[in-house]
Amino acid sequence: MVSLSKDDLDILAFSAFRYALGRKTYITASVSHILMAQAEHLEDNTRQLIIREIKGSIERGEAGMSMDADEWSYLAKYLEERQYEKKKDRVWIYRTP
């Protein structure tokens, strides 16, 4: 097992993502699947940045071939659902005066 700090994991994951985004090779699916597997270990801001980058790339037509854009779109949806699940699991305590 390889041990990475959370910061190192975020940097490595985002760098791999940025390399793969827009490419027209197997790397799209490989990176997408790794990011899904590691999603719970990524910082919220990293997940949000990946989602924003995917949506912008798709809107500009820069996400690769249609199958690549589909893969990125699936990843964005997966990460968005993961964000919602994390927020849903939080317990909020309100104090009344």
pLDDT in tens, 7-64: 999 999 999 999 999 999 999 999 999 999 999 999 999 999 999 999 999 999 999 9
Measured CA to CA, the distance from residue 31 to residue 26 in angstroms comes to 9
Closest by CA to 35, choosing from 51, 22, 23, 24, is 51
Q: Does the pTM of the predicted model rise above 0.75?
A: yes
pLDDT of residue 6: 87
3, amino acid identity = S
Domain ranges across the chain: 6-89
* pLDDT interval class at 84 (50, 70, 90): low
pLDDT of residue 83: 74
